[in-house]
Amino acid sequence: MTNAHDVLLDASPWVKRFALSIPKEGSVLDLACGGGRNAALLASLGYSVLAVDQDINAIQQWSDSLIHPRQENLEGETWPLQGLQFAGIVVTNYLYRPFLEQLPKMLVDGGVLIYETFAEGNAEFGKPSNPNFLLKPAELLGLAASSGLKVIAYEDIYLDQPKPAMVQRICAVKGHLKGHLKGRIPLQFHG
Ligand SMILES: C[S@@+](CC[C@H](N)C(=O)[O-])C[C@H]1O[C@@H](n2cnc3c(N)ncnc32)[C@H](O)[C@@H]1O
């Protein structure tokens, strides 16, 4: 039987690096959470997590009181999370462009977006290869700029672990960097 500890061992290193920059007040959205590896990490750090996916069977097997699985189709006609607000939003290995701009709108002031997914050029290494699932050059920077998010860190790189891939990833804050974040985020910019 899977448990939260085993699941969190697979959490994204990028999410691990920036998770503590999310304000403690308010909950965190793990969008398209899958098996819940990042939700498990966030819960282990004391965050309350709304874990949304079309398939929540796996996460329901082990989720604890800090994780709230919610089954939703994130690619329907309307945005199913309308009106919700979060201290943090985490997205990994998922992209659905029609609702991308909804994410910054759901952050409270001081809220943190941590996003990591495949980028253009990934087709050379396998799937995903459909351009709809691959970020265009600087696309996450563009999202931050158009939404007034301050970029804390950004990379558009080749990774060989956990498998060869082209990956784009960002950590960005809505509004002003709060005092509690200073010293908790490695302040470096790769852009
Ligand atoms: C590659 S997995 C990534 C899972 C997780 N974020 C991670 O990195 O481990 C993509 C996830 O998107 C979810 N997904 C795909 N289409 C969806 C939709 N229309 N509505 C909700 N979830 C969807 C899948 O069920 C799957 O869990």
CATH number of 4-180: 3.40.50.150
* Cα of 56 from ligand 1 centre, angstroms: 10
Residue with tokens 């809505």: 174
What's the rounded Cα separation, in Å, for the pair 2 and 167? 28
* pLDDT tens-digit map of 97-128: 999 999 999 999 999 999 999 999 999 999 99
* Cα of 176 from ligand 1 centre, angstroms: 31
Q: Kindly indicate the confidence band of residue 169, based on its pLDDT and cuts at 50, 70 and 90.
A: very high
User: How many residues would you count in the chain?
Assistant: 191
> Within 10 Å of residue 61's Cβ, how many Cβ atoms?
14
* pLDDT tens-digit map of 35-68: 999 999 999 999 999 999 999 999 999 988 999 9
Extents of the domains making up the chain: 4-180
> For a substitution probing ligand 1, which of 2, 9, 53 has the most ligand atoms within 8 Å of its CB?
53
Residues lining ligand 1, CB < 6 A? 32-35, 37, 53-55, 72-75, 92-94
* pTM reported for the whole predicted model: 0.94
